[in-house]
Structure 1
Amino acid sequence: MQRTIATLLAAASLTTGLTATALTAGVGAAFAADAGRPDRYTLTADEGGSKFEGIGADERRGLFYVSEVTGGEIHRGSMQDPAAEEWLAGDGTDGRFTARGVTVDDDGNVYIAGGPNGIGQPGRPDLWVYAPDGELLAALRVPAGEAFLNDVAIGPDGAAYFTNSNDPQVFRVADGPAGWSAELWADATGTVERLAGFNLGGIVLTADRSAFVVAQGNTGRLWRFATADGAVSEVATGGADLVNADGLVRQGNDLTVIRNFSRMVASLHLPADGSAATLRSQEASDPDRVYTTAKMLHGRLLAVDSKFDEPVATGPYDVVGSPWR
């Protein structure tokens, strides 16, 4: 496709028709690829309103999973069905009262970050791992006090790596000879300054698998965590405004940064090793939505409308799919 994800998001505010820009080369192919797929995937909600944040994609099975902040339910949908379903109950199920980032490994196991679920609640897990059939594989605490687990990505070793929005830390979760465990993998204290607000958030693996690129939302900076040893360095962005950076999506050497409350989407060129990033464009997203993150599934972008801008959320509740109309 010749359009970047940022361009697709910029068009999200359109409700009917196509602009001249949308008629550029490559768009016809995009529409053909999406033939028969819904534009929106409806999420079920609590009677008093629901808010959402994370999304994980199972490329092999064509499924996606969305986390609900209000209650911790996990919803599951497929590419062809316009209505997602509640897959895992919340409101205390497996100790889960809220949920944030989600990812899926090659075996279809689903990893869920708990956000503040365990803060001030020693008996509550910080994260969960589920088999594709919904069987609970692990409900774990991380070895840190008051961790806010925000997002998660699968590393080159097959383990899951969770970011901490309260401290500059990344935790590694894997199944070993003694069972599932969570360990502190990287601590960037002294390199990444902890500030008020959300610190480490979105995380993606680089194209050459040598590092993770992690967003620090409150400062708008990107950080590189080497997969070999967790060594941390700043990703040079030339001063690009990435404040409120939340979800990250990488396609080849294209990095998309979704800037939630800024209602902007930045498109950057990211070399294979993630050592630097060059801003290509900044585009406005739908002013009536606060997108938090997105994932690619079968060549299509799926973005979560969080409802974070509504004191009491009201419907419709949905995941928005491209092509944007």
Structure 2
Amino acid sequence: MKTRYVSCLLGGFAALCLTACEDHRLSPNASFPDRIEFIAQRQYPEGIAYSAQLDRFIITSLTQGKIGTVDINGNYADLITPPELIAGVGVKVADGRIFVCNGDQGVSSKSSPATTRRTAELLVFNINSRQLERRTDLDDLLPGVNHFANDLAIQPDGTVYVTDSFAPVIYRVTSSGQASILVNDPRFASATFGLNGIVYHSNGYLIVANTGAGKLYKVDLQNNNAISEVGGLPSLPGDGLTLLNGDLYVVTGSGSRVAQVRSTDNWQTASIVKFDTDGYSQATTNVVVNARVFTLNARIGEISAAMGNPALLQSNNYSIMKFR
């Protein structure tokens, strides 16, 4: 495992040792529209976050390995175009930094035989300087198998947890950049697409989705990382996960709907409160802003259909939907 730092750190990571507050709960804007349409050339934005500092949504790109912004009026702009980022997947904003998963499904302009289905990295950028501060290789921790870093969750002490969709592992990266495998379990495996969305719960555990299995799992960080399936649910092939007021919002149905899921026993079991189905198409994940859930319609189905032929990926129109 290699963690690489660059000279622009300026001691900034010391702050992460104290707290890592995600910068998405509040915004200077009093209200957001129910739907934000935006145009971004061949963006295919798998991940979404929000920066109150920039007053913009932050989105990634599977096809171009860059990070962009979208305002509430639907104006898109490139933010960071780093050479190190092959395909931007899950993204979070915390303490003035952008944390992004770097993977490769073979559809990026930067894809190569050496990186396709072999890449799992965590990149951290300073939101003010737009410079790379840290790059941590995760695929080195489990050699000889396929890898795809998908999503991440940040603990208040700055620890980051990263899912791998092609290997049955969750990685742990400390606030100082030290990486390890938190859990490696056959329940996280899938013949298609395995681990996907992940969230950190303030009671000291993770909730993670296995898309191929259609299940949610709880990883108890305070009990030797014990893994248990969240019971009581029907098959729920989840993509992105977001917590709001104790409920879990799960993008599901191949991106055609978002499920509001609730537990009354600390996520031993759960039930579906409702599905929101209007306006979702090929969605991936969601983010909370101003106590509302916003979901990214990312045309993710086109990625699967174009495997091996990136030239087929030419869409420019995307949208962000408010859960209703």
Give the TM-score taking structure 2 as reference length.
0.75
Distance 1:38 1:268 in 2: 21
Q: Match for residue 251 of structure 1?
A: 244
1:85-116: CA deviation from partner (whole Å, max 9, x where unpaired): 11111xxx3322211100122x1211111123
Equivalent residue letter for 1:68: S
Q: Match for residue 15 of structure 1?
A: none
Q: Structure 1 residue 94 and structure 2 residue 83: aligned?
A: yes
Q: Match for residue 281 of structure 1?
A: 274
Q: 1:59 to 1:132 in 2, by over 3 A?
A: same
Out of 189, 205, 209, the residue aligned to residue 215 of structure 1 is 209
Aligned positions of 1:100-115 closer than 5 A? 100-105=89-94, 107-115=95-103
The percentage of counterpart residues that share the same residue type is 21
Shift of 1:262: 5.6
SS of 2:68's partner is strand
C-alpha contact (below 8 Å) 2:250/2:260 kept by paired residues: yes
Q: 1:305 to 1:198 in 2, by over 3 A?
A: same
Out of 131, 135, 139, the residue aligned to residue 135 of structure 1 is 131
C-alpha contact (below 8 Å) 1:65/1:76 kept by paired residues: yes
C-alpha contact (below 8 Å) 1:71/1:97 kept by paired residues: yes
Q: Match for residue 256 of structure 2?
A: 263
Shift of 1:60: 5.7
Distance 2:57 2:265 in 1: 26
- Which blocks of at least 5 consecutive residues in structure 1 are unaligned? 1-31
Q: Structure 1 residue 205 and structure 2 residue 197: aligned?
A: no
1:241-272: CA deviation from partner (whole Å, max 9, x where unpaired): 202x1011211221111115262322211347
C-alpha contact (below 8 Å) 1:125/1:139 kept by paired residues: no
SS of 2:83's partner is helix
Equivalent residue letter for 2:179: A
Distance 1:194 1:57 in 2: 31
Equivalent residue letter for 2:220: A
Distance 1:157 1:322 in 2: 30
Q: 1:194 to 1:157 in 2, by over 3 A?
A: same
How many residues align structurally?
276
Moved segments of 4+, more than 6 Å: 122-125
Q: Structure 1 residue 164 and structure 2 residue 160: aligned?
A: no
1:265-308: CA deviation from partner (whole Å, max 9, x where unpaired): 22211347333211223343436x21110101123332211112
SS of 2:254's partner is helix
Q: Match for residue 195 of structure 1?
A: 190
Distance 2:265 2:93 in 1: 22
C-alpha contact (below 8 Å) 1:44/1:86 kept by paired residues: no
Q: Match for residue 295 of structure 1?
A: 287
Q: 1:40 to 1:100 in 2, by over 3 A?
A: same
Shift of 1:82: 2.6
Q: 1:61 to 1:254 in 2, by over 3 A?
A: same
1:206-245: CA deviation from partner (whole Å, max 9, x where unpaired): 2x331110000011111111233552322333241202x1
C-alpha contact (below 8 Å) 2:244/2:291 kept by paired residues: no
Q: Match for residue 42 of structure 1?
A: 38
Q: Match for residue 183 of structure 1?
A: 180
Equivalent residue letter for 2:322: S
Give the TM-score taking structure 1 as reference length.
0.75
Moved more, 56-65 or 159-168: 56-65
Distance 1:160 1:109 in 2: 13
Equivalent residue letter for 1:111: F
C-alpha contact (below 8 Å) 1:212/1:227 kept by paired residues: yes
C-alpha contact (below 8 Å) 1:300/1:321 kept by paired residues: no
Equivalent residue letter for 2:122: L
SS of 1:101's partner is strand
Q: Match for residue 154 of structure 2?
A: 154
Shift of 1:322: 2.5
C-alpha contact (below 8 Å) 2:233/2:271 kept by paired residues: no
- Which blocks of at least 5 consecutive residues in structure 2 are unaligned? 1-28, 106-110, 307-311
Cα RMSD, aligned residues only: 2.9
Equivalent residue letter for 2:182: W
